[in-house]
Amino acid sequence: MISDDPSVEVLEEDEPRAADGRVPGRRGLATRQKLLTCTAEMLRTSSYRDLKVVDIAREAGTSPATFYQYFPDVESAILVLADEMVTAGVERFARVAAVENWKGRAGYEAAEALAGEVMEFWVENQPVLRVVDLATDEGDTRFADVRTRLLNDLNNALAAASLEHQQAGRGQPEVDPNAIAGVLVAMLAHVAAHRSGFEFWGVRSADLRTVMARIIFWSITGAKPTT
């Protein structure tokens, strides 16, 4: 339940909270969302290291003091954006990875859909993902956790598919299914993150998707892709 009075505290853990732990009212939630939207938009043109509270507040038409009512710092706002991104990503990847049988043409089409979905997701969320990668490389465990949560379920789904084929006498019986899944997920994320670089050198996104789909299909099933 959300109170109309921003000073009223409601004890439901899933609701957005102000920096002091209280649940904002409708007007407060709208202000919070506007600050998040402006942060996301400014990340598209600015390095997050250069992004200042005063700039976000000005863009949102409010004050730094208001910003601090909802977020202790810029990184905290970005973490909220990252959490929202994770929720959306996990759902999207689960839909395309939910394949009952990876065999044959249907299996290959699922692999192609998965490759395409990850690439599109990276394009849509590039500003936040760029921060996640940078902060993770710098040892920030908060952002490292974001990346883990984003890809963990997908990794598990591909590992389960690999194991199922191995138990049926197919796939790559001499390889740990978790290793197969880990390499496939790393490939998907890395290629998606560098899509623009490939395109700069004349490599079409459609070809990247096809290559990844073939690798996914072969790695899981051990069979030549049915295209």
Integer-rounded Cα radius of gyration of the chain: 21
Give the residue from 43, 72, 101 where a domain finishes.
72
Q: Please give the average per-residue pLDDT across 166-185, as a whole number.
A: 93
Instruction: Note the pTM of the prediction, 2 decimals.
Output: 0.83
* Same-domain pairing of 187 and 97: yes
* Same-domain pairing of 30 and 109: no
Tell me if 202 is assigned to some domain.
yes
Q: Please give the average per-residue pLDDT across 203-213, as a whole number.
A: 96
Give the residue from 72, 98, 121 where a domain finishes.
72
Residue 92 tokens, joined: 């999207």
Look at residue 176 in the predicted model and tell me its pLDDT.
96
pLDDT tens-place string over residues 68-116: 999 999 999 999 999 999 999 999 999 998 887 788 898 999 999 999 9
Look at residue 29 in the predicted model and tell me its pLDDT.
87
* Same-domain pairing of 120 and 79: yes
Look at residue 6 in the predicted model and tell me its pLDDT.
42
Q: Name the band, by pLDDT with cuts 50, 70 and 90, for residue 9.
A: very low
Q: Name the band, by pLDDT with cuts 50, 70 and 90, for residue 18.
A: low
Tell me if 136 is assigned to some domain.
yes
The CATH number for 165's domain is: 1.10.357.10
How many structural domains compose the chain? 2
Tell me if 227 is assigned to some domain.
no
Q: Which domain holds residue 140?
A: 75-221
* Same-domain pairing of 100 and 12: no
* Same-domain pairing of 80 and 149: yes
* Same-domain pairing of 133 and 191: yes
The CATH number for 65's domain is: 1.10.10.60
pLDDT tens-place string over residues 104-159: 898 999 999 999 999 999 999 999 999 999 999 999 999 999 999 999 999 999 99
* Same-domain pairing of 147 and 133: yes
Give the residue from 72, 90, 122 where a domain finishes.
72
